[in-house]
Amino acid sequence: MCGIVGYVGKAKAAPIIIDGLKRLEYRGYDSAGIAVLHQGSFHVAKEVGRVAAVQHTLASSPLEGTRGIGHTRWATHGGVTRENAHPHLSSDGKIALIHNGVIENYAAIKKFLLTKGYTFASETDTEVLCNLVAYHFEKEPAPADGGSRLLDAVRKTLLHVQGTYGICVLGLDCPDELVAARQGSPLILGVGPDELVVASDVAALVSRTQNVVYLKDGELVAISGNTFQITNRDDVGVDPVIDQVTWKVEDSELGDFEHYMLKEIFEQPVALENAMRGRFSADESTANFGGLNLTPNELRGMGRFMFCACGTALHAGMVTEHLIERFARVPVECDHASEFRYRNSPLFTNTLFFVVSQSGETIDTLAAMREAQRKGFKVLAINNVVGSTIAREADGGIYQHVGPEIGVASTKAFTSQLLIGAMLALYLGRMRDMSVRDGTEYVAALKQAPDLVREALEQAPQIEEIAQRYARYEDMLFLGRLELFPIALEGALKLKEISYIHAEAYPAAEMKHGPIALINPECPSVFLVPQNEIFNKVISSMQEIKARGGPIIAITTAGAELPEGLADEVITIPACHEAVLPIVATIPMQLLSYYIAVARGCDVDKPRNLAKSVTVE
């Protein structure tokens, strides 16, 4: 979850590290810090709060030096205090370390180190790791072959560690070196002409270089001057594979928008176009996916599909479940990735797994994928980050191609996942009994999605006015049916994430089975009520709410006729194909949550207690 940056080069390290941390702040913003090695000493600046607080400190006390490490924290072990902020120094002052992840056996290691005279100033598992490196460094003789004493100390330390980590380490007695390692937490090496940068996300690297090496689990990189060497945990050399980052730093700039979330909401038409580009057959009757690594015959032989994901991505999987069952007539199951590997659920042998993760680093989803593969199942990935761990380890997959998403609350990544799910349902349906004619109509509908979203975005001023009226409420319900029930879940999640309003979602017909007890004039309900075969059923649920004094916001499709006075607010979206409807219906949900959060004075891009990429259990 945390963001880490390490720098070795010819330029001053501090400004480069601070710039990288600001670009990684969506990964955690409880506290931040930086350590620079200069003239035989570590110079450290740490503050509670945002990276800007450290930047302010450095404005009056600049740090010199061309080697350094920096960190922006999402707290796990220990409260949000300056003492718990990274970087941590060993109690002998010789090692500086930053860490993303969780050391599960830190208590036993700490107990051991206390017997060796090491002391602790924080409550963190990271300081324990730092002191353990110092312990092994002191025991480690200088390598006779001219190797790295610091690297050897880090490698021996990690043999005793249980848990996940992405770390960067500096040693006072090794002023030209930096060592980094990963296990379960992402770590990327940026290779520039005169500098090397290590970070937990390419967002921190693209302002310096487009050339990157994605480290794998169990790998360590030792940087010395302008050179680097990668080895595995057995001290066997690894030949680096240098990839090119396909987007530029300008893609992650805020531009004229007030928040990244609003920017990314309005980027959705282009994001959808990018997700579709080149993925339809020549006769435009089906979808094409180049990276599935399964033949049509193998796909036809699958009797069941399983989607594992977390949060917003799981909601996308639930919509995909509905569409695949509707158009391909194949059973689909969705599961929380965080629960899957801890259950012993029976699995059919001809099941194909899909994992969905924008970042490709979500630890629960990664663990679910590995568990499915361990049991002999093929796993395909839907994700947005080329070179991510899930993308590399999956048996095949589909990239979203929506560019960097900075806002913690997912928007354009979610709607692109919905689009890819709809295309997948088409692809599988055409393999079975969907006709050419139906496929052609389906493709035409999907190709309209970007323009339909543009039309829905035109409702933003009206939705902002509605948000002003509803920002005072502390409870809200979201209700939908069929493929729109997961969209109701997503609407409730967005509102919770960024406005801190308690929100719940239910299938509309489930209200009378318990949740209707919550209805009162202080609990508004948001209804998704498109003109379809169960339109009147949803209207009946709305009548039940209205009869009990609950305010109603209705999101409906053009041409639908709601009973007069039934809804207090009406937001109209374009009528469209049922495969596209979840995408279009998502837009007013996103805008409503965004404008309510702004009206309540919330930090939309950095909501409390959250981080963009969940890389710890």
Chain segment 197-229, per-residue pLDDT in tens: 999 988 888 888 889 999 999 999 999 988 999
Ordered DSSP codes for 112-181: HHHHTT---SSS-HHHHHHHHHHHHHHHPPPPTTS--HHHHHHHHHHTT--EEEEEEEEETTEEEEEEEE
Q: Assign 110 to helix, strand or coil.
A: helix
Answer yes or no: same fold for 3-248 and 458-603.
Answer: no
Average pLDDT of the chain, as a whole number = 91
> Are the CB atoms for 56 and 44 separated by under 8 Å?
no
**pLDDT tens by residue, 437-464:** 999 999 999 999 999 999 999 999 999 9
What are 359's two structure tokens?
A: 């970042």
Say whether pLDDT at 18 is over 90: yes
The alpha carbons of the chain give a radius of gyration, in whole angstroms, of: 26
Nearest to 438 by CA among 426, 450, 449, 424: 426
The top-level CATH class assigned to 3-248 is alpha beta
Domain limits, the chain:
3-248, 257-457, 458-603
Query: What is the reported pLDDT for 146?
Result: 62
Concerning whether 612 is annotated as a catalytic residue, the answer is yes
Residues in the chain: 617
- The pTM for the full model equals 0.86
CATH architecture of 257-457: 3-Layer(aba) Sandwich (3.40)
- Which amino acid makes up residue 569? E
Residue 4 tokens read as 């880490």
Note if 130 is an active site residue: no
Residues 6+ apart with CB under 8 A from 38: 63, 64, 65, 67
Average of per-residue pLDDT across 10-26: 90
Residue type, 39: Q
Are 379 and 353 in contact, with CB atoms under 8 Å apart? yes
Select which of 2, 308, 523, 602 is catalytic: 2
Residue 284 has pLDDT above 70, yes or no: yes
The answer to whether 102 and 164 are in contact (CB under 8 A) is: yes
Residue of 22, 110, 494, 612 marked active site:
612
Q: Which of 429, 400, 404 is CA-nearest to residue 414?
A: 400
Give the residue-averaged pLDDT of 295-314.
Answer: 92
Q: Which neighbouring-strand residues pair with 308?
A: 335, 355
354 has a pLDDT exceeding 90: yes
Over residues 32-87, the pLDDT tens digits come to 999 999 988 999 999 998 899 999 999 888 888 999 999 998 788 788 898 999 99
The fold of the 458-603 domain, in CATH, is: Rossmann fold (3.40.50)
